[in-house]
Amino acid sequence: MRIVITGGAGFIGSHLCERYLDEGHEVVCVDNLITGRRANIEAFAGNPRFRFVQHDVSHPLHIEGPVDMVLHFASPASPVDYLRYPIQTLKVGSLGTHNTLGLAKAKNASYLLASTSEVYGDPEEHPQRETYWGHVNPIGLRGVYDEAKRFAEAMTMAYHRTHGINTHIARIFNTYGPRMRLDDGRALPNFMGQALRHEPLTIYGDGSQTRSFCYIDDLIEGLVRLAATDFHEPVNLGNPDEVTIREFAEEILRLSGSSSGIVFKPLPEDDPRIRRPDIRRAQQLLGWSPKIDRTEGLRRTLEYFRQLV
């Protein structure tokens, strides 16, 4: 296959590029490097089946030759990044999704949208099932990301219903692993960077809010399986092993053997109180479940960050 991956120089996108290259496919990575890095794709630069196109997909996108699949991963993804780039985030979720769906239509390609657990907002249903419509503040600070992704899902379904494109919507829950940016502001890179520098870990609020963290290799397996189906409704992909942010910080302290303490900072606006995916749909449809537990995943990620600090 010849596969276009937008956001391919980012954390998840670069792992997808690697996976499809390893399977023998051709990959065209399209990225404007707003939050991604060339270093993430350096290892593939010499591969004749890999091509990098530096382009903002909020502007129309022309790719020469055949395309079998378009995977739309371009978007700032960490809260710190999308609060820094609110308009770019709204544009890439709306105009970028429209442009990449247009590419899929023109090439008669299948399509996968990287959506997010943020479409559920601060959820009133727990765990979150795909049938839940969500609880999002459209005008809050996080609204730029949440509403862009909700629009992106609506646009993707419209292209499927109107043009018959084989579209897929992955609702991705918190994912972590090598190639995250140390300074992207998410809990895990912050905590690991702070632990390795022996600085206090910054917990926002009292740390009782929960998340459910999925290791990158498990997510990639789920995405590749979903992309190979003809299922069009959203599918949650994540690890249902839920943990409070305080426990998570303490796990990182233990695993890193750090002497850092913990400091408490204000909780950001609209920060979801709880989050855990119901993954029964992915289990039944894809025969998929995460395999890598948090201790193992955190160990591997810590090794990566040790080289950077």
So which residues are the catalytic ones?
Answer: 145
Cβ nearer to ligand UDP, comparing 6 with 209: 209
Residue 34 binds to ligand NAD (criterion: CB under 6 A): yes
Report if residue 174 touches ligand UDP, rule: CB under 6 A: yes
175 is a contact residue toward ligand NAD (CB under 6 A): yes
**Burial state string for 249-258 with b = 16 or more CB within 10 A and e = fewer than 16:** bbebbebbeb
Q: How far is the CB of 174 from ligand UDP (least distance, A)?
A: 5
Angle at 252 between CA 249 and CA 256, to 5 degrees: 145
Q: Is 71 in the site for ligand NAD (CB under 6 A)?
A: no
Please tell me the distance from the alpha carbon of residue 275 to that of residue 127, in angstroms, as a whole number: 7
Helix (H/G/I), strand (E/B), else coil: 103: helix
Shortest separation between residue 145's beta carbon and ligand NAD, angstroms = 7
At closest approach, how far in Å is the CB of 118 from ligand UDP? 7
Size of the site for ligand NAD (CB under 6 A): 29
Residue 6 in contact with ligand NAD, rule: CB under 6 A? yes
Residue 186 binds ligand UDP (CB under 6 A): yes
- The per-residue DSSP string of 118-129 comes to GGGBS-SSSSBP
Shortest Å distance, C-beta 31 to ligand NAD: 4
222 to 26, 128, 149, 219, 238: CA distances (angstroms): 20, 18, 19, 5, 9
Query: Which of 203, 219 has the CB closer to ligand NAD?
Result: 219
34 binds, among ligand NAD, ligand UDP, none (CB under 5 to 8 A by kind): ligand NAD
139 three-state secondary structure: coil
* Beta-carbon count within 10 A of 183 CB: 12
